[in-house]
Amino acid sequence: MYSSLPDPVKVGKLLSDPNNEYEEKYERVQSNYTNLSKKFRLTERNFGRQYAHLYAERLWTMRAKVVKSAKSKWGYVLGTSGQPVEDIIRYSSNEDAVDILQKCMDWGHIAPTAPDTLSCYPYYKEDPFILGDCPHIFFAGNQSKFSSKIYKGPKGQEVLLISIPKFVDTKTCVLVNLRSLECQPMQFQTDFTGMDSESPEVDK
């Protein structure tokens, strides 16, 4: 009597038998499709100097803002890796690095012997080594020993002059208090100084 009625369990299911005669059936439509895709290959291009002027202009514009922000937060710190001081020592009788730094402050020039006896790019429009502003800290690296001194300028400026020794030889760095301009050296030592270099304990 009820055999002709659909099964209520099978009707209305989300996943039902595709051969169910009570479910609505859709005809499959065939579409014409032609694969026109090909391998895309980027040709060779030279980016060596294509955007160099854009980056240079942006860096030059950003430099003034970065320097101004850094000076307002940390003060004006100026330093070299020691070549200007070493060149002056080579051609003079003065061997005190801090004294030479003081002379550079008096002369208003970071590298007075460049480009005569100290190799550098020969600038012809302006000299970038001229001291336009008085720094708070002026240091020279790769020196023979540590020394420091407070330099007082003609207008009451106070500049901390620091001679920083070579770290590879002395294992010494310099700590500076930016508020009081006090500095002290800090030396690093290991427990393997008296051990044979060929000992396997050195590698540990």
Q: For residue range 80-113, list pLDDT tens digits in order.
A: 999 999 999 999 999 999 999 999 999 999 999 9
CATH of the domain at 81: 3.60.21.50
Check residue 143 and give left, alpha or beta (phi > 0: left; psi -120 to 50: alpha).
beta
Q: For the chain, what is the domain count?
A: 1
Domain assignment present for 172: yes
Domain assignment present for 84: yes
pLDDT tens for each residue of 154-182 = 888 899 999 999 999 999 999 999 888 99
Q: Quick one: what percent of the chain has pLDDT higher than 70?
A: 72
Domain assignment present for 120: yes
Give the Cα-Cα-Cα angle 59, 63, 67 (nearest 5 degrees): 160
d(CA 190, CA 200): 16
Beta strands (DSSP E) in 106-176 are: 137-143, 147-152, 158-165, 172-176
Domain assignment present for 25: no
**b/e per residue 129-143 (b: at least 16 CB within 10 A):** beeeebbbbbbbbbb
Place of tokens 């895709």: 37
Question: Would you call 80 helix, strand, or coil by DSSP?
Answer: strand
Number of residues assigned to the chain: 204
Judged against a pLDDT cut of 80, whether residue 7 lies above it is answered with no
What domain range includes position 127?
74-187
